[in-house]
Amino acid sequence: MPQTVFELKTMDCVEGIRQLPDESVDLVVTSPPYNLGVKYRNYRDSRNSDEYLKWSTQWAGEVRRVLKNDGSFFLNLGACPSNPLIPHELIVKMKASLFVLQNTFHWIKSISITKDGEIISAGHFKPLQSDRFVNDCHEYVFHLTKSGKTRLNRRAIGVPYSDKSNIKRWAHTGGDDLRCRGNNWFIPYKTIVSRSKQRPHPATFPTDLAVFCIKIHGCRPDLVMLDPFLGIGHSALAAKQCGIGRFVGFDIDREYVEVARKAIQKGLTEPTVELLKEGRRRTSAGDKMLFEMPGVA
């Protein structure tokens, strides 16, 4: 059985990525702080706009250096009423000097549709108590590449045709009942009772979101994947699930890195608060955690 190598390091991401060789990474999936005032344990998420954009282009510049020419960089960003332009400002900044914006995906957390006269609601969102703003039920996933010509496996996360006659009508189907899903990805959070008691990080994305990114780029056991903002390890769990050959992740919070390590070792699909408690009780010989585990195809 192939081995997946995980390198999880308690380290500032700029410093960490600088240790990687040029063009050594196939795939980057990450969700940096959004500069929305989230209360992280070891990071100030309330910089002024110029400072935030300068810092973001600094770490993104290192990402560009290590990304292969046919690599993919999936960047998850959200906004809030107090700072609605930050995802767009950041992507314009990166597009101007670093990357080509090849695709824009919309991560739909919650949606309501009318079908056969019935309103159906699915998913979860954080409600806003406001007479000016509506509930925010989605975030962006920007697909950035070096040239805009990176080939994708579009049907790796495909969906069946509603009209089965399309299977024979279109030559590109190859006779398969599977079409491109498009750029709207409905991926709800798992239901929890208490965020503070069940989700040991103030700003996470579901493991399935990273799985979608990996699959549409194209899974191979020889791929190297990077997450500069590891958090509690959702992207690492996705890499394990998809059978990625090597995963590198950085985070400045030692306890979060320990949660990620434990979640991988225990074969979990989502990190838990109990792992955070275990990490606090555990003493470690050093900040760098390097280990190998069997991959999961």
Q: Is 209 strand, coil or helix?
A: helix
Whether 24 and 69 have beta carbons less than 8 Å apart is answered as no
Domains and CATH numbers, the chain: 3-152+183-294 (3.40.50.150)
Q: What pLDDT is attached to residue 165? A: 74
Alpha-carbon span 75 to 104, nearest angstrom: 10
Facing residues of 73 across strands?
28, 144
Q: What pLDDT is attached to residue 60? A: 97
pLDDT per residue, tens digit, the chain (297 aa), is 467 799 999 999 999 999 999 999 999 999 998 765 445 445 454 567 788 888 999 999 999 999 999 999 999 998 877 788 889 999 999 988 899 999 999 999 999 999 899 999 998 887 888 899 898 899 999 999 999 999 999 999 988 887 787 777 776 777 787 888 999 999 998 765 555 554 555 457 899 999 999 999 999 999 999 999 999 999 999 999 999 999 999 998 898 899 899 999 888 777 765 655 565 555 344 444 444 433 322
Whether 295 and 220 have beta carbons less than 8 Å apart is answered as no
Facing residues of 113 across strands?
120
Which residue reads 């959702």 in tokens?
234
Q: What pLDDT is attached to residue 196? A: 52
Alpha-carbon span 253 to 42, nearest angstrom: 6
Give me the amino acid identity at 267: G
The strand ranges marked E within the chain are 3-10, 25-30, 67-77, 100-108, 110-115, 118-123, 138-145, 184-186, 224-227, 246-251, 288-294
Query: What secondary structure does DSSP assign to 183-241, as a single string?
Result: SEEE-PPPP-S-HHHH-SSSS---HHHHHHHHHHH---TT-EEEESS-TTSHHHHHHHH
Whether 240 and 293 have beta carbons less than 8 Å apart is answered as yes
Whether 239 and 27 have beta carbons less than 8 Å apart is answered as no
Q: What value, to the nearest 5°, has the Cα angle with vertex 277 and ends 205 and 30?
A: 20
Q: What pLDDT is attached to residue 168? A: 72
Beta-carbon count within 10 A of 3 CB: 11
Q: What pLDDT is attached to residue 83? A: 80
Q: What pLDDT is attached to residue 273? A: 57
Whether 90 and 56 have beta carbons less than 8 Å apart is answered as yes
Facing residues of 159 across strands?
179
Q: What pLDDT is attached to residue 174? A: 73
- In angstroms and rounded to an integer, the radius of gyration of the C-alpha atoms of the chain is 19
Q: What pLDDT is attached to residue 79? A: 83
